[in-house]
Structure 1
Amino acid sequence: MDEKQGIGRLGLTALIVSSCIGTGIFGITSDVAAASAPGPALLAWGFVSFGILMLVLALNNLSNKRPDLEAGIFSYAGAGFGPLGEFISGWSYWLSAWLGNIAFATMLMSALGTFFPLFKGGQNLPSILVAIIFCWILTLLVNRGVESASFINTIGTAFKLLPLLLFIIVIMIFFKAQMFTADFWGQVVNNTTRGTTTGSIWDQMKGSLMTLIWVFIGVEGASVMAHRAKSRKESEQAAIIGFVLLVIVYVMISILPYGVLTRTQLANAGQPAIGNALELVVGHWGGVAINLGLIISTVIAWLSWTMLPAETTMLVAKDRVMPKLWGKVNDKNAPTASLMITGVLQTIFLFSLLFTQQAYKFAYSLCAAAILFSYLLVGLYQMKYSAEHKEWGQFLIGVLAAGFQLACMFLAGWQEVLLVSISFIPGFIIYYQGCRENDHRISGVEKLVMTLVTLLAVVAIVLVVNGTIAIG
């Protein structure tokens, strides 16, 4: 690709940071405090950061060793486990992006409700209609050219980090070490612990895992967009730089407030949590500043996640795993058909916000669960490729990356994982259509896998009907 037309290291780093820093960081203070005291929270951050780092290192290794696989995270699954593996990875990633966008819409309209009472709560009809308008503005912007949208994203990232830096500075000024260490391990149970988890350190860690994974979604963005980068090396560098920046910001935002407000105050602050926390510390202006930052943050992150899901289906279709329509691009090299299909479906699903009480939490939990499938397949292919080439250090990275995803699936998000499996019922219909168009005969192994996943989906439906799994 022409160096002048590709996305550079700065643009890719901004894409990763912007994709991750969306609505999640503005609610993380409350969500983490409800689940964990500062000690278990730091251990949870260490566990999740290590797991995500293994994923980033695996992606960088595969990007370097297999530059021929331009679809990145999805084509790795294809190279390791065939067309169905690539489809499962791409479909899961696409679904995750969908649910993330619905979460963005809910939080955005709720933040606008602070300034315009018409949108208060973020889930009424006016909120839905404005969210749909946002959805289509961003869709049409990306349709004019992915690289130009990335340029806007780079500028917006700088602006949306300012309220977060303000929060960190204020919290550091008011930080009290004695308050921070008062109940460091969360094992003191009394009337001041309302709304929080106390007791076992492991239970506290486990309770925060899906929240921490949610805020890291997007760290693989450089891999998804690697074929549009100026060079593979810049894509790899952007992944590491973005990861380090995210860990620093996330830990400071979620951990420092324990030294300023009580854990109960943090857990019951409401959303956006850091806005309400800052308002308790410095007054109303703090909440206003954070809400303005939240609005900017959500719009820019939504832009990134308009780019990434469309890019996903386009790349998977180009690998002849989905129907050809999803792979067509316009004269700006943007996947118009994929963008429009996703935009229409997002519009339909945005109306679901009218019928659920906890749309944001439910959406981000499913979003985190869905992405685990894609991440797991990266780790497994890293293991397979490294074993074939006797690269045992890289093989260990693959084991750790895959093991982390499996641990999160079974320990923290098993209900959400079951719900995600339901989406594969219509997904396999699309896969079948793609196989017919591309003259791919579905193998016996593929039929077995689809049957097992479908049976898992049926189990999930039964558990939903009998109330074992509660929906939103």
Structure 2
Amino acid sequence: MENKKGISRTELIALIVSSCIGTGIFGITTNVSMAAAPGPALLAWLFVGFGILMLVLSLNNLSNKRPDLEAGIFSYAGAGFGPLGEFISGWSYWLSAWLGNIAFATMLMSSLGTFLPIFKGGQNLPSIIVAIIFCWLLTILVNQGVESASFINSIGTVFKIIPLVLFIILMVISFKGGIFTTDFWGHVANNFSKGTTTGSVWEQMKGTLMTLIWVFIGVEGASVMAHRAKTRSQAEQASIIGFILLLLIYILISILPYGTLTRAQLAAGTQPALGSVLEAVVGHWGGVMINVGLIISTIISWLSWTMLPAETTMLVAEDKAMPKMWGKVNAKGAPTASLMITGVLQTIFLFSLLFTEQAYTFAYSLCAAAILFSYLLVGLYQMKYSAENQEWGQFTIGLLAAGFQFACMILAGWQQVLLVSISFIPGFVIYWQCCKEENRKMTAAEKTVIVLVLALSVLSIFLVANGTIQVG
């Protein structure tokens, strides 16, 4: 029986768009233009758009067929591949969430640098100290049971959307076809492409993949909200409409600037990139407008994303795939141990950004690489469930979803994926503690998977040591 009272289709669409649009879109023009000319960038959007659509369709199908699994994408991994599958999905998602906070921190401090020169660039010592203070203030607030009220999120959404709409309008007004078509495919190395990748279309496309995946993180939230919708069918429709709107916004934001500034100018822009572009096109007030909107929306988003890692470990611990400590809540309903562990790790990682030239890019690349593990397991479970029920159309969708995630791991993010595998060294110790706590013996299949992942982590350490993988 479907619930007559609940979140409407329009409200769900707004939630999906709001949850996905974070700091990533404010930095996208510089990161995309460094990697690709407009032609390859458009092809990359088509490729990523298709892959994310397959993920959304898989999530819709699983949400409809398995409404009993309400713990999000982790429970799909658990249903398909047991406790270890759920642990790998949850651990990867947890890692991705707090690495996303590192990207938030660097982008926030870069924005503040527009008004306070001491923070210029966002990754010097004053910036990192203030970011750490922010991190712990939000951690303490969440530990006191502070929850994200809908009206606060609404304020954040307004400050995200208004600057983006104005940016698109101003880019359309300033657009020049001659600039846009100059070296459309990025084959020619000249002053118009200085500081950017030139060469084959495929190489340029590969260079954008992690950036494009980063801005879609959060699209899985729609399936989690499906049980709160008026009807399941409305939730599925909202997922597709929300995805299409996001893709359209992202393409306009990242492609229109190619018609206002040269690739070299776009690639040389400081973060937040939209502020840099708008300041070059319309003057200082444009940069100020983008930065004010970004500062407010980032702080609000950061509050929500402080809760997300703790919520993740709590759900996985409830399913007995992590030790109980990670899910234990205090008197105000907050998982203190998980929050404190996450806060310490964020602090350590923020200090490490003193030693990398492009802190924001490094943080979001690792964030995107980590989420690929969780998304891959969704596609694999879609395949498994569909095969068991002989739904071969849905099986094909799952195959395409899993294939896309795996392709991104190999083609674009293999270095970041190997770096993420190092996190499973302490991770599997935690999983072993969980098995011991639950008096559950690890199966031969689980041991095999653990050995393979640990082998990748050892390889990663070796490649970092000999300089093959450049950290940051």
- Measured against the shorter chain, the TM-score band is over 0.9
Q: Separation in 2 of the partners of 1:271 and 1:148?
A: 27
Shift of 1:231: 6.9
| 1:139-188 deviation line (CA, Å, top 9, x unaligned) | 34445657644442233112221111111110111112232223222223
Q: Separation in 1 of the partners of 2:203 and 2:43?
A: 12
Instruction: Indicate conservation of the 8 Å contact 1:221/1:308, yes or no.
Output: no
Instruction: Indicate conservation of the 8 Å contact 1:48/1:209, yes or no.
Output: yes
Amino acid at match of 1:449: V
Residue in structure 1 matched with residue 251 of structure 2 by the alignment: 251
Residue in structure 1 matched with residue 343 of structure 2 by the alignment: 343
Decide whether aligned partners of structure 1 residues 119 and 268 sit closer, same or farther in structure 2, where only a CA change above 3 A counts. closer
Residue in structure 1 matched with residue 175 of structure 2 by the alignment: 175
Q: Separation in 2 of the partners of 1:6 and 1:467?
A: 54
| 1:260-305 deviation line (CA, Å, top 9, x unaligned) | 1122221222222211111111111111111112212322332232
Structure 2 residue 266 is matched with structure 1 residue 266: yes
Instruction: Indicate conservation of the 8 Å contact 1:274/1:290, yes or no.
Output: yes
Amino acid at match of 2:153: N
Q: Is 129-138 or 417-426 further displaced after alignment?
A: 129-138
Residue in structure 1 matched with residue 135 of structure 2 by the alignment: 135
Aligned length: 470
Q: Secondary structure at the residue paired with 1:192?
A: helix
Q: Secondary structure at the residue paired with 2:193?
A: coil
| 1:292-321 deviation line (CA, Å, top 9, x unaligned) | 122123223322322322221111111000
Residue in structure 2 matched with residue 35 of structure 1 by the alignment: 35
Residue in structure 1 matched with residue 66 of structure 2 by the alignment: 66
Decide whether aligned partners of structure 1 residues 190 and 358 sit closer, same or farther in structure 2, where only a CA change above 3 A counts. closer
Shift of 1:47: 0.5
Residue in structure 1 matched with residue 326 of structure 2 by the alignment: 326
Instruction: Indicate conservation of the 8 Å contact 2:313/2:338, yes or no.
Output: yes
| 1:231-280 deviation line (CA, Å, top 9, x unaligned) | 75665454334322211211000011111112222122222221111111
Residue in structure 2 matched with residue 208 of structure 1 by the alignment: 208
Amino acid at match of 1:321: A
Amino acid at match of 1:352: S
Q: Separation in 2 of the partners of 1:191 and 1:44?
A: 24
Q: Separation in 2 of the partners of 1:240 and 1:231?
A: 15
Residue in structure 2 matched with residue 461 of structure 1 by the alignment: 461
Q: Secondary structure at the residue paired with 1:189?
A: coil
Instruction: Indicate conservation of the 8 Å contact 1:279/1:286, yes or no.
Output: yes
Amino acid at match of 2:288: V
Q: Secondary structure at the residue paired with 1:441?
A: coil
Q: Secondary structure at the residue paired with 1:393?
A: helix
Instruction: Indicate conservation of the 8 Å contact 2:193/2:262, yes or no.
Output: no
| 1:69-109 deviation line (CA, Å, top 9, x unaligned) | 12120111111111111101110111111111111111111
Q: Secondary structure at the residue paired with 1:183?
A: coil
Output aligned runs, 1:60-99, within 5 Å.
60-99=60-99
TM-align CA RMSD: 2.4
Residue in structure 2 matched with residue 287 of structure 1 by the alignment: 287
Shift of 1:323: 0.6
Shift of 1:400: 0.6
Q: Separation in 1 of the partners of 2:312 and 2:12?
A: 16
Amino acid at match of 1:154: S
Unpaired segments ≥5 residues, structure 2: none
Instruction: Indicate conservation of the 8 Å contact 1:171/1:260, yes or no.
Output: yes
Instruction: Indicate conservation of the 8 Å contact 1:71/1:227, yes or no.
Output: no
Shift of 1:444: 1.1
Q: Secondary structure at the residue paired with 2:191?
A: coil
Q: Separation in 2 of the partners of 1:67 and 1:16?
A: 19
Instruction: Indicate conservation of the 8 Å contact 1:369/1:420, yes or no.
Output: yes
Residue in structure 1 matched with residue 413 of structure 2 by the alignment: 413
| 1:324-344 deviation line (CA, Å, top 9, x unaligned) | 122234566544443333233
Decide whether aligned partners of structure 1 residues 198 and 355 sit closer, same or farther in structure 2, where only a CA change above 3 A counts. closer
Decide whether aligned partners of structure 1 residues 411 and 278 sit closer, same or farther in structure 2, where only a CA change above 3 A counts. same
Instruction: Indicate conservation of the 8 Å contact 1:380/1:398, yes or no.
Output: yes
Q: Secondary structure at the residue paired with 2:261?
A: coil
Name the TM-score, length of structure 1 as normaliser.
0.93
Residue in structure 2 matched with residue 431 of structure 1 by the alignment: 431
Q: Secondary structure at the residue paired with 1:121?
A: coil
Residue in structure 2 matched with residue 26 of structure 1 by the alignment: 26
Q: Secondary structure at the residue paired with 1:153?
A: helix
Output aligned runs, 1:293-332, within 5 Å.
293-330=293-330
Q: Secondary structure at the residue paired with 2:322?
A: coil
Decide whether aligned partners of structure 1 residues 242 and 82 sit closer, same or farther in structure 2, where only a CA change above 3 A counts. same
Instruction: Indicate conservation of the 8 Å contact 2:34/2:196, yes or no.
Output: yes
Instruction: Indicate conservation of the 8 Å contact 2:194/2:263, yes or no.
Output: no
Residue in structure 2 matched with residue 401 of structure 1 by the alignment: 401
Instruction: Indicate conservation of the 8 Å contact 2:121/2:270, yes or no.
Output: no
Name the TM-score, length of structure 2 as normaliser.
0.93
Q: Separation in 1 of the partners of 2:305 and 2:226?
A: 16
Amino acid at match of 1:259: G
Residue in structure 2 matched with residue 352 of structure 1 by the alignment: 352
Q: Is 424-433 or 104-113 further displaced after alignment?
A: 104-113
Shift of 1:445: 1.1
Amino acid at match of 1:387: A
Q: Separation in 2 of the partners of 1:5 and 1:310?
A: 29
